[in-house]
């Protein structure tokens, strides 16, 4: 039996729960969302914003790019085809195995590394760019450390662009229908969203930061916030993805994309 609660949980419990969650969910996640994500496409969010349209990373050809929380590495594969040298990092062996299968099927190889966004296994200044499309950031208890780690592995002049659920979504039930339009939870309640079993063992954890919290984490890591992109729900876009739906998309922002630079 699974129960949903809000309670404190630290990095170790969060990591354990989410690694197991994504290992177990990898096949179902791809069966549900794989057609929308494509096999070598860079989709930022359920609103369908594509890097090919918006170029938030700037020029990618010839650049070394780290994708943090790459899942099955669809974005990294798009980067390869665009002439970049990406590396995909993910906590979950299950997601990476799905990524390796997609690479074999498409003939577009991407180096994949199993690791934790809070402890990036890379040398200082080893990447020109870093990105994450709803990847690791909200799944880490210590996202301030994620910001510092990404800043460390970026070279000066590098860029870090990451998408998360929009912080205002925290107030609303996880429901794509009318129930999901009622603000029920305090925006300022930072206690993590936890799904747990009858013994209280967490099976899935998401962490919340207000917009101000997130900006402070970025600045404290020595990065500059260049833009905060809030993709609008495109007219005619009908796809429901979990809590994301045309109904809510017309009213509420669903995704926040933070564009940061390392001075
Ligand atoms: C919603 S998926 C997004 C992946 C991909 N962009 C996509 O759209 O399918 C989130 C990914 O973040 C990974 N993740 C969660 N916590 C992580 C951590 N601490 N370090 C690295 N990756 C993590 C998960 O394993 C999962 O593959």
pLDDT per residue as tens digits for the range 204-261: 999 999 999 999 999 999 999 999 999 999 999 999 999 999 999 999 999 999 999 9
Site to probe by mutation for ligand 1, drawn from 24, 31, 50, 71 as the one with most ligand atoms within 8 Å of Cβ, is 71
Closest atom of ligand 1 to 71 CA is 27
Closest atom of ligand 1 to 132 CA is 6
- Is 128's pLDDT higher than 90? yes
* pLDDT of amino acid 163: 98
- Is 66's pLDDT higher than 80? yes
Site to probe by mutation for ligand 1, drawn from 22, 28, 46, 145 as the one with most ligand atoms within 8 Å of Cβ, is 22
* pLDDT of amino acid 2: 86
Q: What is the pLDDT of residues 6-24, one digit of tens each?
A: 999 999 999 999 999 999 9
Q: Provide the whole-model pTM.
A: 0.98
* pLDDT of amino acid 201: 96
- Strand duo 193-196 + 202-206: pairing: antiparallel
Q: What is the pLDDT of residues 139-149, one digit of tens each?
A: 999 999 999 99
* pLDDT of amino acid 113: 98
Q: Chain-wide mean pLDDT for the chain?
A: 97
Indicate whether residue 51 lines ligand 1 (CB < 6 A): no
* pLDDT of amino acid 149: 99
CA of 235 to the centre of ligand 1 (A): 28
- Is 69's pLDDT higher than 80? yes
Q: What whole-number distance in Å separates Cα of residue 61 and Cα of residue 83?
A: 4
- Is 48's pLDDT higher than 90? yes
**With bands split at pLDDT 50, 70 and 90, how would you rate the model's confidence at 85?**
very high
Indicate whether residue 71 lines ligand 1 (CB < 6 A): yes
Q: Sign of the CA dihedral 60, 66, 67, 71? A: positive
**With bands split at pLDDT 50, 70 and 90, how would you rate the model's confidence at 196?**
very high
Q: What whole-number distance in Å separates Cα of residue 214 and Cα of residue 195?
A: 23
* pLDDT of amino acid 1: 72
Q: Which residue, 164, 181, 137, 183, is CA-closest to 14?
A: 137
């Amino acid at each position: 039996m699974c129960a949903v609660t809000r309670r404190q949980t630290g990095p170790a419990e969060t990591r354990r729960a989410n690694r197991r969650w994504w290992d177990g969910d990898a096949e179902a996640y791809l069966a549900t969302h794989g057609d929308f994500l494509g096999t070598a496409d860079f989709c930022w969010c359920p609103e369908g914003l594509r890097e090919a349209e918006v170029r938030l990373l700037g020029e990618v050809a010839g650049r070394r790019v780290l994708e943090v929380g790459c899942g099955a590495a669809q974005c990294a594969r798009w980067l390869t085809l665009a002439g970049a040298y990406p590396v995909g990092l993910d906590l979950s062996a299950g997601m990476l195995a799905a990524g390796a299968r997609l690479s074999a099927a498409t003939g577009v190889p991407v180096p994949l590394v199993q690791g934790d966004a809070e402890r990036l296994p890379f040398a200082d200044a080893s990447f020109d760019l870093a990105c994450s499309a709803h990847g690791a950031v909200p799944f880490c208890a210590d996202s301030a450390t994620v910001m510092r780690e990404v800043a460390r592995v970026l070279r000066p002049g590098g860029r870090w662009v990451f998408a998360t659920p929009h912080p205002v979504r925290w107030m609303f039930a996880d429901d794509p229908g009318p129930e999901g339009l009622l603000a029920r939870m305090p925006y300022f309640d930072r206690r993590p969203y936890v799904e747990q079993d009858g013994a209280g063992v967490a099976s899935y954890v998401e962490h919340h930061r207000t917009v101000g919290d997130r900006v402070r984490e970025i600045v404290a890591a020595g990065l500059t916030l260049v833009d905060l992109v809030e993709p609008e729900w495109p007219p005619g876009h009908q796809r429901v993805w979990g809590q994301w739906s045309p109904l809510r998309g017309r009213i509420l922002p669903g995704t926040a994309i933070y564009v940061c630079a390392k001075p």
